[in-house]
Amino acid sequence: MHGIMPMMRRVLLGVAATAIFVTVTHGQSIFGPPSEANHFIETPKGWVHPKTPWGEPDIQATLNMMQAANVPLERCANSYRFGGPPCDMNQAWWTEAEYKERVAAATGRVDQGRDLIAKGEFGRALLTGVTDPATPQRQTNLIVDPPNGLLPELTAEAKRRALDMGSSWSLPGEDPVYDNALDFDFWDNCRSRGMPSSMMPYRYNGGFKIWQAPGVVVFDLEMIHDARVIYTDGRPPLTPAHKQYMGESRGHWEGNTLVIETTNYKEGPPMINLAVVGSPAGNRFPVSDRLKTTERVTRLNDDMWLYEIKTEDPVILTRAFTVRLSRGKHDRPELQRHKPLRTRPPGSGATSQDRAGIG
């Protein structure tokens, strides 16, 4: 008995420390009133996290990755890359007044596809329907670390590899040669979007479904129909001989947060894809087989989830970087009252939101 009690005390203290670790970001709880720590998404007082029938935190949902599609990856990328309006490189969050202005602009959007069809501009209507509408967010960019909101510098080896990568997106002065299908990049021939890019918001096809069963979580992605199988039953990773473009994932629970460590990545697809707004041009951001990603998925309330992914690759990056964003079943509460119309022209097929059962 005397030997059991100290052991139990250590276990309970460890559980308490884990709970503190997963519910605090930069000194603030991610649960409770709106704050930077929870991306200004409130957890109602008294809200109880649902559980699965087998007792794990229930994070299952069909979510919309498109909600943050207009938030640039790097801070102010839409200004310094594309000649946009002046931008404050020190501003990580829009003020409440600035955010409300963006919400007001979003609620005034019209169905551009139908408007263009009425004008007889059928070509432009079709192109407009290719992308799905995003909704305003409080964050000014997706990267939260480094604190300056920029991607870290590439290593010399990464710059060498970037020149050898096949890409359908030529840089100025280039004249790519396409002798076979593999001369196109991974995105254009639909092999893979790669990681961590696959978990970021794109311009279209943003359906994201989370499934659970005892000892396993599955991330089902609409884009390229990738399905990531994440074992949470404590089994060890496979040996490094087994590599995949989306890596091999193992997960565990820290309180109600799912933590996923993924290794055994196969080299090939870009780490960062230019279809993520505010990404470097050219689709030439390589990965090595030493890539490792660590994800954290936390349910904040009935409708909204907080997602974070840290990316490390000592061959490619001079330091790690972290992306964090919210995603939900619906638009954020302040936008649900004035949901903008979809921009897909009538008769052009279902939007990604329709296909994924969102919105």
Q: Tell me: the pLDDT tens digits for 287-303?
A: 999 999 999 999 999 99
Whole-number pLDDT of residue 334: 59
Whole-number pLDDT of residue 163: 84
275 versus 110: the higher-pLDDT residue is 275
Put residue 77 in one of left, alpha, beta given phi > 0 → left and psi -120 to 50 → alpha. alpha
For 141-154, what is each residue's pLDDT tens digit? 999 999 999 999 99
CA–CA distances in Å: residue 23 to residues 294, 301, 306, 310: 17, 14, 11, 17
Q: Could you give the CA distance from residue 129 to residue 349 in angstroms, rounded to a whole number?
A: 9
pLDDT, the chain, mean? 84
111 versus 278: the higher-pLDDT residue is 278
Q: What percent of the chain stands above pLDDT 90?
A: 54
Strands 248-254 and 207-213: unpaired
* 82 has a pLDDT exceeding 50: yes
* 43 has a pLDDT exceeding 60: yes
Q: Could you give the CA distance from residue 64 to residue 140 in angstroms, rounded to a whole number?
A: 19
223 versus 305: the higher-pLDDT residue is 305
81 versus 37: the higher-pLDDT residue is 37
Nearest-10 Cα torsion for 278, 345, 185, 275: 10
What is residue 186's DSSP assignment? T
Residue in 202, 88, 100 with CA at minimum distance from that of residue 149: 88
Q: What percent of the chain stands above pLDDT 70?
A: 83
- For the segment 234-238, the average pLDDT, to the nearest whole number, is 92
C-beta of residue 259 within 8 angstroms of C-beta of residue 252: yes
User: How many helices (H) and strands (E) in the chain?
Assistant: 8, 12
Beta strands in 109-247 (DSSP E): 143-145, 207-213, 216-221, 227-231
Whole-number pLDDT of residue 331: 65
pTM for the model stands at: 0.83
Whole-number pLDDT of residue 343: 38
Q: How confident is the model at residue 216 (pLDDT cuts 50, 70, 90)?
A: very high
Whole-number pLDDT of residue 354: 33
Burial of 108 (0-12, 13-18, 19+ CB in 10 A): exposed
* 197 has a pLDDT exceeding 70: yes
Radius of gyration of the chain (CA): 21
Q: How confident is the model at residue 115 (pLDDT cuts 50, 70, 90)?
A: confident
